[in-house]
Amino acid sequence: MTPGPSVIEQYRQLLEVSSRMLGLAREQEWEALVQCEAGYVVSLQRVRSLDEVQSLTDSEREQKFSLLEQILTQDAETRRVLESRREELSHLIGSSRRQQALGQAYQAGRGSIASRLRAVPTDERP
C-alpha cells in the first residue's frame, strides 16, 4: 500500500491554489476566483487534517514554514486586491444612489413646476 500525500505536498498544492487565486484577483476574474476559493477551502481542510497526524522532520518543518510564509504573503496580497475592489464597488454604489436621488428630485421638481404652470392662466404664461 502506498502512503497518501504528505503534508508538504499538500502545502505545495495549497500554495498553487493560493497563487491561482491571486492571479485571478489581479485579473479581476471574480467568478473564477469564487470558484477557486471553494477548492482552496477544501485543500486547507485537507492540510489541517494531515498536519495533525503526520510528524515532520526538521527539514520538512522548514519547508512547511517556507510554504506557509509564501501562502500567507499571497493571501494578504489577494485580500488587498479584494479590498480595493470592494472600495471601488462601494464608490460606484454611492454614485448610483446619488444619481438615483437626483433623478427622483428632478422628477419631483418637474412635477411641481408643471402643476404650477397649470395653475397660471394661459394668457399669463411666458
CA distance 111 to 116: 9
Residues 38-95 have pLDDT tens digits of 989 999 998 999 888 888 899 999 999 999 999 999 999 999 999 999 999 888 887 6
Any domain includes 107: no
User: How many other CB atoms are found less than 10 A from the CB of residue 126?
Assistant: 4
Instruction: Assess whether pLDDT exceeds 70 at residue 125.
Output: no
Q: Which domain holds residue 62?
A: 7-85
Any domain includes 121: no
Any domain includes 99: no
State how many domains the chain has.
1
CA distance 23 to 74: 10
Where do we find the cell 510528524?
Answer: 55
Label residue 36 by pLDDT band (50, 70, 90): very high
- Alpha-carbon dihedral sign for residues 39, 51, 68, 86: positive
CATH number of residue 75's parent domain: 1.20.58.380
Residues 12-26 have pLDDT tens digits of 999 999 999 999 999
pLDDT of residue 10: 94
Any domain includes 40: yes
Residues 88-119 have pLDDT tens digits of 988 888 766 767 766 666 666 665 655 665 66
Any domain includes 125: no
CA distance 39 to 22: 14
Residue of 71, 92, 32 whose CA lies nearest to 84: 92
